[in-house]
Amino acid sequence: MKYDLVYLAVGALLGAYLRYKVTGGNLFLGTLPVSVLIVNIIGSFVLGVSSTAVTQLGLDERYTILIGIGFCGSLTTMSSFAYETVNLVSVGELATAGADIVLNVGASLGAIIIGRALVALLVGPG
């Protein structure tokens, strides 16, 4: 409990830095913004791996604070995703906005599932 804030701060700093580096380039596939999609998938995968590893390996809960809350919380970016999607709708890019929603939500959910499966494969079912 004494160092929880340190774990949180270190994780948040690292996640925010990675988010800054990935989303700073404003990558697009056509009109589809993929920078935010990339960080959402990475963050979901890391959260799937870390949360399952903490549970199945009996790791210290501070790893959840460091990785799950700090790193993934500052890396992933639901507000930016929502902002980009609304911008696409406002300029009439309805199909791209729909693809943005499906890809961000679907790929993020898939990344959680894949991350959990990876840990189960490596350490066995919990």
Q: CA-CA distance, 60 to 64, in Å (whole number)?
A: 8
| Domain ranges within the chain, ordered by starting residue | 4-120
pLDDT of residue 78: 85
Give dist(CA 122, CA 119) in Å, integer. 5
pLDDT tens-place string over residues 9-68:
999 999 999 999 998 888 899 988 899 899 999 999 999 899 999 999 999 999 999 999
Q: Of the candidates 55, 18, 42, 56, which has an alpha carbon nearest to the alpha carbon of residue 108?
A: 42
| Residue 59: C-alpha distances to residues 18, 35, 37, 55 (Å) | 25, 32, 29, 7
Predicted pLDDT of residue 126? 64
What are phi and psi for residue 33, nearest 5 degrees?
Answer: -75, 120
Q: Which pTM was predicted?
A: 0.80
